[in-house]
Amino acid sequence: MSDIQIWTTIFIVLTFGIYMTIAWRSRVKETEGFYVAGHGIPTIANGAAIGADWMSAASFISMAGLIAFLGYDGSIYLMGWTGGYVLLALLLAPYLRKWGKYTVPEFVGDRYSELVRTIAAVAAVIVSFTYVVGQMNGGGIVFSRFLNIDITYGVMIAAVVIFVYAVLGGMKSITWTQVAQYTVLIIAYLIPAVAVAQTMTGIPIPQVSFGQILNELNALSTELGMEVFTDPFTSRPMVDIFLVTMALMIGTAGLPHVIIRFYTTKTVRGSRYSAFWALFFIALLYTTAPAVGAFTKLNLLQGVNGTATDNLPAWVDNWAATGLVTVNENADVVNSVSNDPTAGADLTVNNDILVLASPEIAGLPAPIVGLVAAGGMAAAMSTAAGLLLVISSSVSHDIWFRYVRRTAGDQERLLVGRIAMAAAILVAVIAGINPPAFVAQVVAFAFGMAASSFFPAIVLGIFWKRCNGIGAAVGMIVGLGFTITYMLYTLEVFGLSAHDHILGVSPEGIGAVGALVNAVVTVVVSLLTPPPARHISEMVESIRYPAPRRVPTGE
């Protein structure tokens, strides 16, 4: 066993032990504890948990890799995800917290109708399942490389660990586990970034120092026939850059597994402060990602440019064993590098490995490599657990309890929720072994679905009293159906052939169009049908104020 495998095993066993201990000590037996942690999570802890829930395998594993190969155009993920969180924290979260329900389907059910609740529950399952597929695949990548386990078994191991601690304690267990996972992932992300920044520039602040290497990176990229790193719109048309950014942004504000986090605080005020702390914790990673992408790409190109294919660095052979790095058998010397398997480059590198491989590429010691592997697992598992809870709550609380057994008590609903979790994990494992795209792209598909289904219904439900249940139901069905249809049309999934993008719009960006379609349909149908009942309008009015309005004396 190599030093990297030894250190990876040590860190993963240690961190997994911590997660399982927290799960056991936080186990619950009642639905309020299982779904919203009894509304008892302290503000800073909830902010860290939101950060971990937010920064999935896409953020930790894949985002910097996409920035490395897309350059300027990779900023869509930074702008979309970060801007979306701000939108969620300021525009939606406090109002939903004041409503005080367990799930997003509950909110739209109370606001509109039981039909809309059902549609929202089904949409939550679809969105969360798509999202969790990316997390399972991310966990499998970590195991397959660092422990020499086949990616299939790696995905299964990750699934078992997530299932155990999610089932034991629900939201309470997941929240405290995510606090630990955030600590692990941010340390694992920052230490190698700081070390590489110090080595390459002499300044140990990645956010400041990476600007010094951009000219060198641009020159080397041009020499290898790649696009200039800092030039805009080289990999995507401008319209798609805008639409993907918008889809990620408004999809963020509609993600049920993030929204439900704001229900776990003790007060509405606490949810606002949680949002602030979460933004701080998220910014630590998101402001570092561009530097990690630039540093890693420069180290990658310098390490392989002009090198004979039989004399490549050791990390190439290590990752080639996983199938995520391939060397062109017909090439004697590496003169081209790509992330596109169809490009015919001398060396093809999967986007999803660059962060995990960056310590090896930079020549950092084995303990740091093992720490990064543990951080990648923490990122994947933290988000997967939150998504599984959404699936569980949607099935047990919004479907089983509402339509199958209205008399179901706490124990029965918890049992149904846990069975739903198990079923979701089983299907996610199968899909995670053969995902339709890179981790970040799969996650982007989930954001697009959330954008085209939840966002218009939630925003209009809070800020437009005239919006009614018929309009919301038709809008959600049309918006989500339109988005999924386009994704299936442009992706090679379920045995279907991929088709060209229409007007340059990628499947990651179609969610923004789907959201617009949803909103227009909702408004038109609402205006053509009777307005909601008076008590609904009064209920909507009440959540806009931090306290009951006082009537002056004498009025």
> What one-character-per-residue DSSP string does 231-255 give?
-SSSSS-HHHHHHHHHHHHHHHTT-
Q: What is the pLDDT of residue 355?
A: 86
Confidence band of 473 (pLDDT split at 50, 70, 90): very high
Nearest Cα residue to 439 out of 90, 136, 118, 114: 136
Q: What is the pTM of this model?
A: 0.82
Q: What is the residue extent of each domain of the chain?
A: 3-296+363-435
Q: Which amino acid is at 371?
A: L
Where is mean pLDDT largest: 296-305, 392-401, 407-416, 438-447? 296-305
pLDDT at 548 over 60: no
Q: What is the pLDDT of residue 271?
A: 73
Long-range contacts, 317-321 (Cβ 8 Å, 24+): 318/4, 318/145, 318/360, 319/145, 319/349, 319/353, 319/357, 321/145, 321/148
Contact 510, 247 (CB under 8 A): yes
Q: Report d(CA 502, CA 153) in Å as an integer.
A: 38
Higher pLDDT, 512 or 377: 512
Q: Report d(CA 512, CA 526) in Å as an integer.
A: 21
Confidence band of 405 (pLDDT split at 50, 70, 90): confident
DSSP string, 4-44: HHHHHHHHHHHHHHHHHHHHHHT---SHHHHHHGGG-B-HH
Residues 6+ apart with CB under 8 A from 237: 504
Give Cα 263 to chain centroid, integer Å. Answer: 19
Higher pLDDT, 4 or 503: 503
Helix, strand, coil percentages, rounded to 5, for the chain:
75, 0, 25
Q: What is the pLDDT of residue 554?
A: 44
Where is mean pLDDT largest: 26-30, 179-183, 424-428? 179-183
Q: Report d(CA 80, CA 251) in Å as an integer.
A: 9
β pairing state of 347-349 and 337-338? parallel
Contact 316, 360 (CB under 8 A): no
β pairing state of 337-338 and 325-327? unpaired
Q: What is the pLDDT of residues 448-471, one digit of tens each?
A: 999 999 999 999 999 999 999 999
Contact 130, 442 (CB under 8 A): yes
Contact 209, 197 (CB under 8 A): yes
Q: Report d(CA 7, CA 290) in Å as an integer.
A: 27
Topology annotation, domain 3-296+363-435: Sodium/glucose cotransporter (1.20.1730)
H-helix segments, 38-150? 43-54, 57, 63-70, 75-87, 93-99, 104-111, 114-146
